[in-house]
Structure 1
Amino acid sequence: MADMQIVPACKNVEAQYVEMMVPLYSYGCEKKVKKALSHLKGIYSVNVDFQQQKVTVWGICNKYDVLASMRSKRKEARFWNSEDNIEVDQEPSPPPHRRPLALTKVRSLSWRAWKKVFIRSNSF
């Protein structure tokens, strides 16, 4: 997530505040969150309030990309405003990655194991 590029759509791009509610369990979590967000391009400052469980990011950034990078560290992260969370919850989630049945690994049995299978099945 740290390789996201900030591409301005026009010349008049202003910095914005992104406020998130992030569960923080210790002061080590606070450091981890600050380190993860400060490495994003376009972020000027990261303020973490441990008492309110609030993270404020200031910079030229897409707020959904900031939330996505925050969710890589804390799955329960969400925006501080409840209106913004409605938009995030409506996004369809990608289907889980599954291997096709033809490509699954099959363990081959030894000759001795095959004999046991056939002897048991034919002994009726």
Structure 2
Amino acid sequence: MGVERIWEYIFDLVANRKHKKRKQLNTVSLKVGMDCEGCQQKVKNALSSLKGVKTVDVDWMQQKAIVTGYVDAKKVVKRVETTGKKVEAWPYVPYT
């Protein structure tokens, strides 16, 4: 019995390596503090270089960035933070 369980365990390990879980296609919307078109380009370049990104739409007038692709929202936020811009999740509710 012990040897059979060991073989099952090894088989499960090998089988799980072959069938990696695929990431889901996500759309991440962010509010990014941008002042000009230069800021917009800086954010767009940072997001475009992120692995798994399919499309990036940045509008500095609305201070909004939309990223579509096989990405994690936390990684997208961290990438925008590397540009030095303030970033928040999009359905932005201002404090009163």
Calculate the TM-score normalised by the size of structure 1: 0.55
Matching residue of 1:56 = 66
Q: How many angstroms does 1:74 deviate by?
A: 3.1
Helix, strand or coil: the match of 1:25?
coil
Highest RCO, 1 vs 2 (Cα 8 Å, sep ≥ 6): 2
Q: Distance in 1 between matches of 2:45 and 2:65?
A: 12
Please tell me the root mean square deviation across aligned C-alpha atoms, in Å: 1.8
Matching residue of 2:29 = 19
Q: How many angstroms does 1:27 deviate by?
A: 0.4
Q: Is the 8 A contact 2:25 2:68 kept in 1?
A: yes
Q: Is the 8 A contact 1:23 1:74 kept in 2?
A: no
Report the AA paired with residue 57 of structure 1.
V
Task: Choose 38-47 or 69-78, whichever is displaced more.
Answer: 69-78
Higher strand share: 2
> CA deviation digits over 1:8-61, x for unaligned, max 9?
x624x4311000000111101111100001001000010011221000000001
Unaligned stretches of 5+ in structure 2? Answer: 1-19
Greater C-alpha radius of gyration: 1
Q: Distance in 1 between matches of 2:25 and 2:87?
A: 22
Size of the aligned set, in residue pairs, is 74
Q: Percent identity?
A: 33
Q: Distance in 2 between matches of 1:31 and 1:75?
A: 12
Helix, strand or coil: the match of 1:46?
strand
Q: Distance in 1 between matches of 2:84 and 2:67?
A: 16
Unaligned stretches of 5+ in structure 1? Answer: 1-8, 83-124
Matching residue of 1:68 = 78
Q: How many angstroms does 1:72 deviate by?
A: 1.1
Calculate the TM-score normalised by the size of structure 2: 0.69
